[in-house]
Amino acid sequence: MQTVVLAAGKGTRMRPLTDRRPKPMVPVADRPLVAHTVDAAVEAGASRIVLVVGYEAEPIREYFGETHAGVPITYVRQERRLGTADAVRVAAAELDDAPFVVLNGDALFDQASLDSLFQGGPAVASVRVDDPTQYGVLDVADDVITGIVEKPAEPPSDLINAGAYLFPAGAREWLDVPESERGEHELTDVLERAIDRVDVRPVPLERWLDVGRPWELLEANEWKVAELVDEADADGEPGAVSARRGTVSDDATLRGPVVVEAGATVREGVTIEGPALVRSGATVGPNAYVRGTTLIGPDASVGHAVEIKNSVLMADAAVNHLSYVGDSILGRDVNFGAGTVVANLRHDDRPVELTVKGERVSTGRRKFGVVLGDEAKTGIDTNMNAGVTLSTGATTKPGESVTRDR
Ligand code: TTP
């Protein structure tokens, strides 16, 4: 099945983490976000991938090259971010006269559900949510989709469009849809045309995550780090540390599923409670405590008397002395001065809020810490309040209490 993967988004809601990298390249466990989508498509039977790229396209091309897991990759460039239908229209020139799958390159799908999407006829992957009002909501009768309505105040169902479609061959002719109210050419309008012409069924997803905002990146890592280390665990001794391909001190304690990649070092006195992934070139310890679901990125360092809980440290991030990082995302080359402490819980116990495109938005999480853009640096003894974002390259002074974004 020929498969179009949409990866030309800008990821404005993920700023500052997308200031210097396209959202499809944010790290999720051991690979970029879009690689999870492409791998799932290959596993489900994609014969060819057409990757639509735009903003910061080069790292995506470099990562995949001409083939991925034996499947050829064709790149098409969407010059202007005019919407998802426009992105598929750009890809259509590369498509054969046959049905095709379209996947949002910033969503995670469970494999079994994606397999069934690839195997059937025209379909849309769908998922049930508690509050459908912020999504495209499907109207379904007798297992056939009869309509789709964007962000309705009164949703016709709790089934939403999850951004994975199988279109019939003829859909290549239906891609030229007019601008929507949002000023974009949207795939949901192509879907409207499809459901007027053929039976399109909903394919329910067991698990799904749309990765648009920073805390969803944390959730993506919670999902994929746990899955990865579980797989590694299945290959090792039951209940034992799953994979110690790197150098692990005899004096370190690794509990639960933990993967220490080749080239990583875990020093004496360290305790890591999995699921955790320590990537190649990273060092942990001596005497550090890592818990929750944590990703320590390539060449990152976690030093003496540091506690990291349920966080993502991107490549080259350094938290070297006497610090606490909880439920947070640290971009590439972030440096924590000694004694930097992150708050990750509000006194009123309400969900922590974060700024997304200039507005404070609930993360829905009782525990959430901070988001630091690449190369942000904190002075010694900095305290950061829950829900603070530091932009790319931002700094704090020694002893500062940071309660607002900067
Ligand atoms: P969105 O999540 O709507 O857009 P985005 O990824 O740019 O993020 P943000 O809103 O934070 O700026 O896009 C859904 C998917 O479609 C995503 O995989 C990116 C892709 N896309 C394109 O490829 N071209 C486009 O013109 C648009 C709007 C999206």
ipTM of the shown complex: 0.96
Dist. CA 119 → ligand 1 center (Å)? 26
Here the tokens at position 349 are 């116990």
Query: What is the torsional sign of CA 116, 191, 175, 61?
Result: negative
* Residue pair 18/213 in contact by the 8 Å Cβ criterion: no
* Residue pair 137/64 in contact by the 8 Å Cβ criterion: no
pTM for the whole structure: 0.94
| Lookup result for tokens 């051991």 | 30
* Residue pair 275/258 in contact by the 8 Å Cβ criterion: yes
With a 6 Å cutoff on the Cβ, whether 211 touches ligand 1 is no
With a 6 Å cutoff on the Cβ, whether 161 touches ligand 1 is no
Q: What is the pLDDT of residues 145-168, one digit of tens each?
A: 999 998 889 999 999 999 999 999
Please give the share of the chain, as a percent, with pLDDT higher than 70: 97
- Mean pLDDT of the chain, nearest integer: 94
Nearest CA to ligand 1 atom 5: 9
Query: Which residue among the candidates 36, 185, 321, 347 is catalytic per the annotation?
Result: 321
Bond preceding residue 132 cis, omega within 30 of 0:
no
Dist. CA 8 → ligand 1 center (Å)? 6
Which pLDDT belongs to residue 238? 40
DSSP state of 135: S
Which pLDDT belongs to residue 239? 40
With a 6 Å cutoff on the Cβ, whether 212 touches ligand 1 is yes
Nearest CA to ligand 1 atom 1: 9
Coil, strand or helix at 215 = helix
Phi/psi zone of residue 72: left (φ > 0), alpha (ψ -120 to 50 degrees), beta? beta
Residues of the chain with pLDDT under 70: 232-243
Which pLDDT belongs to residue 236? 54
With a 6 Å cutoff on the Cβ, whether 106 touches ligand 1 is yes
Which pLDDT belongs to residue 234? 59
Dist. CA 204 → ligand 1 center (Å)? 22
| Lookup result for tokens 């080239």 | 263
Which pLDDT belongs to residue 243? 64
Distances (CA, A) of 74 to 4, 61, 77: 9, 10, 10
Amino acid identity, position 340: T
Q: What is the pLDDT of residues 271-320, one digit of tens each?
A: 999 899 999 999 999 999 999 999 999 999 999 999 999 999 999 999 99
With CA atoms as reference, report the closest residue to 7 among 96, 69, 84, 99. Answer: 84
Task: Say whether 304 is catalytic.
Answer: no
Nearest CA to ligand 1 atom 13: 9
Ligand 1 atom index nearest CA of 6 = 23
Which pLDDT belongs to residue 321? 95
Coil, strand or helix at 30 = coil
Listed in sequence order, the residues at least 6 apart from 335 whose beta carbon sits closer than 8 Å to its beta carbon are: 317, 318, 376, 377, 378
Which pLDDT belongs to residue 237? 46
With a 6 Å cutoff on the Cβ, whether 11 touches ligand 1 is yes
Bond preceding residue 22 cis, omega within 30 of 0:
no
- What the chain holds in terms of domains, given with CATH numbers, is 2-210 (3.90.550.10), 214-402 (2.160.10.10)
